[in-house]
Structure 1
């Protein structure tokens, strides 16, 4: 049973998982659509939506908070100035996940995650 399990561990240590989500977030912001494993994309979805909600405020403090999580100047600037203003009228649901074919090598379920309206 999965009672009180808030997140997927993804078979990694906590520092590795944090770095993975940070790098996936930067890639998603940079390319606005990426293909990755289904369970990684589900974890990324909750992570990136929290960042967008913070970035929607648009002030310098929000900019600092987003940069503290991403640690990438260009991705932070793009998120705060371009992506977050697109979702100013939405209260959530900024990303969508679409399943695609399983990976050929190990039959792992794959998915494409991208911003809504792409």
Structure 2
């Protein structure tokens, strides 16, 4: 019986599909974000999340199992050194799929697949933006100096008025 054996074959033979998913998973681990079609992204999510769960236990056995799927030594070392320490507290859902619209050529639905803990816009707190001064040719600095002098004069005038009122 073939109960519960349904998944997307992506229009490819078994060997081609496994090689494609292996390459996509390695690219995702190395680059932390890739752009692909939605169907491939969903298949990739089912393929890569168990591998990321395996990487939580850093043993020779789990490294060999993951290498059997990824077939790239650099991707395996990146997974065990960089990715697994960040996801130790997470129980699942290591990837995020963000839909980006349709592709112009064939109108295929495109998306971005990324590792959840490596997106700085969602994970990090808002940092205070340091304003970078722009350099202008014509007296931009002079105008700024004049503006600060005017503000300083207004502040001294205001303090003089306050002291005059207190004296009365």
Query: In structure 2, what is the Cα distance between the partners aligned to 1:15 and 1:34?
Result: 22
Q: List structure 1 segments (4+ residues) > 6 angstroms apart after TM superposition.
A: none
**Counterpart in the other structure of 1:24:** 24
1:14-45 Cα offsets, whole Å, 9 max, x none, are 11100110010011011100000000000001
Q: Which runs of 5+ in 2 are unaligned?
A: 120-168
* In structure 2, distance between residues paired with 1:68 and 1:83: 18
* Larger relative helix fraction: 2
Secondary structure of the equivalent of 1:104? coil
Aligned residue for 1:34? 34
TM-score under structure 1 length normalisation? 0.94
TM-score (norm 2): 0.67
- Answer yes or no: is 1:84 the counterpart of 2:100: no
* Residue of structure 2 in register with 1:69 after alignment: 69
| Larger of the two Rg values belongs to structure | 2
Structure 1 segments unaligned to the other structure (5+ residues): none
- 1:5 Cα deviation (Å)? 4.6
Larger RCO (CA within 8 A; separation ≥ 6): 1
CA distance in 2, matches of 1:58, 1:5: 30
Q: How many residues align?
A: 116
Shift of 1:101: 1.5
Aligned to 2:60: 60
